[in-house]
Structure 1
Amino acid sequence: MYLKNTHFFGWINTFLFGTDFFVIRVGLYRMEPKRQVRIALWITPRSLSTAFLKCMSTFEKAQLFQEPFFTAKMFGPERTVIIPQFDSIFENLPDVKNYTYEHVKNTLEMDYPGKDLVFTKDGAKAIYGRFECIPQGYQHVFLIRKPSKVHVSVEKLRATAQGIGVDKASFYNKDQKCLPGSPYRNLLELLEHVRDVLGQKPVVIDADDLTISPGTILKKFCGIVGLEYSESMLKWKPGPDPRWRRAESVQSLFAGMTDAHNNSYSSTGFTTRAPGTGTETPFSELSDEVRKLVEDSTPYYEKLAAMKIKIED
């Protein structure tokens, strides 16, 4: 027997047996490696973003980041929010001393071999004014929620912080990025930068739609970003995922200060509700401060909502 013209990734050709020729054509194909998907989720506060992170944690081969730019903004050497009561503590947190914006960008752009998904979620206000640090190679997704729900929830957290000695005004007035309409203004301008400068088509998800039809929204989301949808995305284990990368000292500090993430951490899936149901504080019952925040935010929210993934096309 004589084997002629063998090519490892081509065709195995002709076998000779004496004077008879038998042509065996066996196709051997190179298996292309699975394409790694990189997603940056930009959020407004209190928009089910931690639940969304837990949803992304259902992917086994995933590299996951929890608000690294927020860590730089609040606690790193370039922090812009100054809370006098805790400033001396933040200066001595060992694992945030290197959390500069450039460090976060470089970390997100690193190679993560063996991972099918690299996912980071962060606040739009955290990157606002530092768009040059937006990591390259990511698909950018924007998570929104009705301003009344967001601002009422943030107000409760501010009240909790005030109860442990943090000046309530620190969360807004000392932050140079708190423009009228924030945080929706920050999110919209970030989206416009991604669309107009980076040339990406906006992907917007409304958190309220995730509570009405999570399967529908996630299936459409996966189709857009190139992930394989599975119903296993709808259920997860309670508690933080040990794969989430965030400064441990920051995580511990927030756990001690507020119960901001308790519901998300204890959740095992998206809490669903029927359309037209759910709790929302009537506008007339809002405080004057929150009412003004909602009024300033609504035009930006409406522009964002006009681009969102819809439950029904």
Structure 2
Amino acid sequence: MEPKRQVRIALWITPRSLSTAFLKCMSTFEKAQLFQEPFFTAEMFGPERTMIIPQFDSILGNLPDVKNYTFEHVKNTLEMEYPGKDLVFTKDGAKSIYGRFECIPQGYQHVFLIRKPSKVHVSVDKLMDIAKGVGVEKDNFFSKNVKFLQGSPHRNVLELLEHVQDVLGQKPVVIDADDLTISPGKILKKFCEIVGLKYSESMLKWKPGPDPRWQRAESVQSMFACMTDAHDNSYSSTGFTLRTPGTETGTPLSELSDGVRKLVEDSTPYYEKLAAMKIKIEE
């Protein structure tokens, strides 16, 4: 009998797209090696970090683990052998690896998790309000982020997808987070079929709280502790929150602030190109 093939998946995301819930879904696989945003750690906290947030300096000084978090270190870690594991799974922001595509780990199938720009930007805006509690000003957060371009974060996802498709020669796999709240079973079954995992209804239910198997730097844990509301819903969840098809929970454009509305409008063309490639519920 041939040995079981190990499946390796890199999930590239827009922020606030149910990605932590997706990570918990992948945690239902017993023999899994799981990584939570290692490139984000390199981007925010490592020696090559591209975002310099002075308010985090006091955190960094007490976290020796981030000294090793170069982009090459993350790549090498993800490419290591993990014997005895049926699944190696990492999830990360597409923006975090933007401009460092040479560090995309080899041997992975690349999957892209997206969400409507109105939901992404409204949620990020609320998150930035939470960040004020640790002294991070919203304007500084964006102005100091050299990877935040007109159309980000959906632009970052699309350009990474095009690299995976055109340079690496992989057919893109795209999932819309909203579809996971309508028919998670159908979407995940198709996803598993594409990437070579065995689908089970046990993927739809999980235990509350972070999984102790998640590999994540203490720096990330410390930041999340400062912004406790950021992942409360995902950490306490036991499954995808379902909604009825046709019901919409997003904020109308007319009710958004000028700044958020501009971000939504800039991101929408990139989202529409991505959404045209997504796994369809009706397929």
- The letter of the residue matching 2:250 is E
Counterpart contact for 1:42–1:123, Cα < 8 Å: yes
Give the counterpart of 1:296 among 266, 272, 275.
266
Counterpart contact for 2:60–2:219, Cα < 8 Å: no
Q: Partners of 2:138 and 2:157 in 1: how far apart? A: 23
Q: Partners of 1:262 and 1:187 in 2: how far apart? A: 25
Kindly indicate whether residue 4 of structure 2 is the aligned counterpart of residue 41 of structure 1. Answer: no
Equivalence for 2:93: 123
Equivalence for 1:228: 198
Kindly indicate whether residue 210 of structure 2 is the aligned counterpart of residue 240 of structure 1. Answer: yes
1:211-270: CA deviation from partner (whole Å, max 9, x where unpaired): 000000000000000000000000000000000000123213312224111100000000
How many residues matched? 283
- The letter of the residue matching 2:102 is E
Give the counterpart of 2:66 among 96, 100, 116.
96
Which protein has greater RCO, CA pairs closer than 8 Å, 6+ apart? 2
Secondary structure in structure 2 of the residue aligned to 1:259: helix
Percent sequence identity over matched residues?
86
Quote the offset at 1:88 in angstroms: 4.2
> TM-score scaled to structure 1, two decimals?
0.89
Alignment of 1:138-153 (within 5 A): 138-153=108-123
Q: Partners of 1:113 and 1:175 in 2: how far apart? A: 37
Deviates more, 1:88-97 or 1:107-116: 88-97
Q: CA RMSD in A?
A: 0.9
Counterpart contact for 2:208–2:235, Cα < 8 Å: yes
| Structure 2, unaligned runs of 5 or more | none
Greater helix percent: which structure?
2
> TM-score scaled to structure 2, two decimals?
0.98
Q: Partners of 1:77 and 1:91 in 2: how far apart? A: 12
| Structure 1, unaligned runs of 5 or more | 1-30
Equivalence for 2:173: 203
Equivalence for 1:23: none
Greater strand percent: which structure?
1
1:62-96: CA deviation from partner (whole Å, max 9, x where unpaired): 00000000000000111111111222432441111
1:96-140: CA deviation from partner (whole Å, max 9, x where unpaired): 110000000000000000000000000000000000000000000
